[in-house]
Chain A
Amino acid sequence: MRLRNPLRPWVFLARRPGRALPTAFVIASVTLLLVVVITPGNTFRSTLDANLAALDVFTVVSPARRAGFEPALRDLLDRNRFAERWVPVKALWVRYPAIIGEGSCPLLLARPEEARAVLDRLGMKLVAGRHASGPEPVLVLHEDVARARGIGIGSRVGTLVDPDDIIPGSFEVVGLVRGPARVAVGIVGAGVLASMLHGRLPTYALIYPRPGLKEKSDAYLHAARDGTAPAFQIIDAAYARTRAERALKNLPLLVRFLSIATACIVSLVVMLLTLLSFQSRLPQFAILLAIGQRRGRLLRSVTLELSMLAVGSWLLGASVALAGLAVYDVVALQPRGILIHVWDPGAIAASATIPVFVILAGLAVLWRGMAHVDPVSIIQQRLP
């Protein structure tokens, strides 16, 4: 005979798995549901981050009160000690369909070598086609944006091909890039269209900050004065983010409500299941109390047992949800250029309310039950 404490919490689960199964199933399936419902919500923030990633690396400014970068403004830019250099560019947005409405990522038009430098600075890799060069207006696009718009190499974008577009003229897509920032770079070229584009596109300066000094450089640009007024209008990641976040402000409200409502309902169901399973085990607890077992010891064992069951089922449900989301991401979302983070700590944390509620609800039932059980009356009913 091996002498081991029978009150080890997994003894019941291991020997009577059928009794624990309904509870495990409810917890796992609702966890799965919750994670699968909440996670895709991060597409808004993920897409926003990818769209603004370029603006976290460098700053784009335009003259606040003048038509172009006149010598006084150039002088202000040259004297920015926190910047490596600055480059004149034309800047626009590329719009593309997101999961709801449209997203837009920056399009920077510059000389061919500067267009490349932008991509290098952002850590983008060319995955198809070539870099922008030559006499025609061409551009290189993030592959996800191309997918979302349903275009590829050889496609053309611009008002000449699609009146709804905000890019004037007509640009041919010559290359696709991959990397953390959703961005497009291109060249205006030297053809007939070029002068029209030069005339119609507003002028910006792209400022490369020195490593680690972007904040100081931005502060300098914000403070720069043209007379008494600010010299530059700054296309600011912080500004764009604040605006977008204001638009997404109410999303957590929904997520939190969903997860708390689900957790409450599941806890009720599990509370009922715990109640049933406890009632069927009541005679057993009664006997143990009657032969002098301490209530604290029994409760500790049952608490651990319930915790193991709840946490185990939650882990299972969450893993299945992550696997399902990963597959769905590859099969359905990525081909449409829709960005989600499959691993979403927020969703996992929200789903963790389920085991916590379940343990608390189960414990309430157990504590109540054990406080009111009368061992002798159960013994007298001769229930085994």
Chain B
Amino acid sequence: MSEPIVQARDLWLEYGGARSVRALRGLTLAVEAGTFVGIMGPSGSGKSSLLYALAGLRRPTRGSVAFQGAAWPERIAHGSDRRRSSLGFVFQEPFLVAHWTVGENIAVQQTKPNAARIQALAASLGIERLLDEVPDRLSAGERQRASIARALVNDPMLVLADEPTSCLDTDSGRNAMSVLAAARRKAALVVCSHDARMLSGADIRYRLEDGTLSRDD
């Protein structure tokens, strides 16, 4: 068995404040290269929290996350770990920088500039005409597809996607999923969704409930 790309051990994530919430409770997960892991769960079950923790954007209250064999540094969000460039994240809300074109929003993520790669990826997602547009003039679904392209464009080792089809209709949702699934040729892929149909192509499916994972076969 090969070394997992990302591995969570006994992961606890607790939110403090007025209402203390235990979003993750002792969760364990390992994802290897070439694997597509689908995670289903109702709203508020902790899907986003899990992905943030896997990406090192949220520090676990207990337990650990290792990416490519090593734990994330404490202040990962402040952007000095080089491994971050081999991680692609599709956020639940498709944020794009407003004064950049769609093409620039995707290109910023490339370590080596490669226009052909951007064009091919945009074409596969059906947004090749929009590369010179500014995000304000895009529909939510188009923005979502642009953010998928941004996550994939640098050929990352790990792709984390949080409801990547929430703004898409069934057909373009399936298409987006197939583009994401294709990334598994080089990477490990974790997709969260509450729509089971979108995870039909997953190699392994989990259900997230009460902050823990269970196989969903």
Q: Which residues of A contact B (CB under 8 A)?
A: 1-7, 11-12, 15-16, 283-284, 287-296, 298, 370-371, 373-376, 379, 382, 384
C-alpha gap A215/B96 in the complex (Å): 73
| Cβ contact within 8 Å between B115 and A6 | no
| Cβ contact within 8 Å between B91 and A289 | no
B208 in contact (CB, < 8 A): no
Q: In angstroms, how far is the closest chain A Cβ from the Cβ of B83?
A: 9
Which residue on chain A has the smallest CB distance to residue B130?
A1
Q: In angstroms, how far is the closest chain A Cβ from the Cβ of B97?
A: 5
C-alpha gap A287/B135 in the complex (Å): 14
C-alpha gap A384/B104 in the complex (Å): 17
Interface size on B, residues (CB 8 A): 37
Residues of A near B27 (CB, < 8 A) are none
| Cβ contact within 8 Å between B78 and A295 | yes
C-alpha gap A62/B15 in the complex (Å): 94
- Among B52, B82, B99, B113, contact of A11 (Cβ-Cβ < 8 Å): B99
Q: In angstroms, how far is the closest chain A Cβ from the Cβ of B5?
A: 15
B210 in contact (CB, < 8 A): no
C-alpha gap A338/B66 in the complex (Å): 76
- Among B78, B98, B103, B108, contact of A7 (Cβ-Cβ < 8 Å): B108
| Cβ contact within 8 Å between B97 and A284 | yes
Apart from A6-B105, A287-B96: 13 A-B pairs, beta carbons within 8 A: A1-B115, A5-B108, A7-B108, A12-B99, A283-B95, A288-B108, A291-B151, A293-B79, A294-B82, A294-B85, A296-B79, A298-B79, A375-B57
| Cβ contact within 8 Å between B104 and A6 | yes
Residues of A near B150 (CB, < 8 A) are 291
| Cβ contact within 8 Å between B108 and A6 | yes
| Cβ contact within 8 Å between A5 and B113 | yes
Contact with A along B83-94 (1 / 0, CB 8 A): 011011101010
With contact pairs A1-B115, A1-B131, A379-B95 given, residues A295 and B79 touching in the complex (Cβ less than 8 Å): yes
- Among B91, B101, B109, B118, contact of A379 (Cβ-Cβ < 8 Å): B91
Residues of B near A296 (CB, < 8 A) are 79-80
- Among A4, A16, A289, A291, contact of B104 (Cβ-Cβ < 8 Å): A4
Q: In angstroms, how far is the closest chain B Cβ from the Cβ of A248?
A: 52
Which residue on chain B has the smallest CB distance to residue A296?
B80
- Among A6, A11, A291, contact of B89 (Cβ-Cβ < 8 Å): A291
Q: In angstroms, how far is the closest chain B Cβ from the Cβ of A120?
A: 67
| Cβ contact within 8 Å between B95 and A384 | yes
B77 in contact (CB, < 8 A): yes
Q: In angstroms, how far is the closest chain A Cβ from the Cβ of B54?
A: 12
C-alpha gap A375/B78 in the complex (Å): 9
B107 in contact (CB, < 8 A): yes
- Among A15, A374, A379, contact of B93 (Cβ-Cβ < 8 Å): A379
C-alpha gap A2/B131 in the complex (Å): 9
Which residue on chain B has the smallest CB distance to residue A371?
B78
| Cβ contact within 8 Å between B108 and A293 | yes
B58 in contact (CB, < 8 A): yes
A-B contact pairs, 23 of them (CB 8 A): A1-B103, A3-B107, A3-B114, A3-B115, A4-B104, A5-B113, A6-B105, A6-B108, A7-B108, A11-B100, A290-B89, A291-B89, A291-B109, A291-B150, A291-B151, A292-B79, A292-B87, A294-B84, A298-B79, A371-B78, A374-B77, A376-B52, A376-B77
Q: In angstroms, how far is the closest chain A Cβ from the Cβ of B115?
A: 4
Residues of A near B78 (CB, < 8 A) are 289, 295, 370-371, 373
B119 in contact (CB, < 8 A): yes
Q: In angstroms, how far is the closest chain B Cβ from the Cβ of A14?
A: 9
Residues of B near A294 (CB, < 8 A) are 79-80, 82, 84-85
Residues of A near B119 (CB, < 8 A) are 1
C-alpha gap A310/B103 in the complex (Å): 29
B132 in contact (CB, < 8 A): yes
Residues of A near B82 (CB, < 8 A) are 294
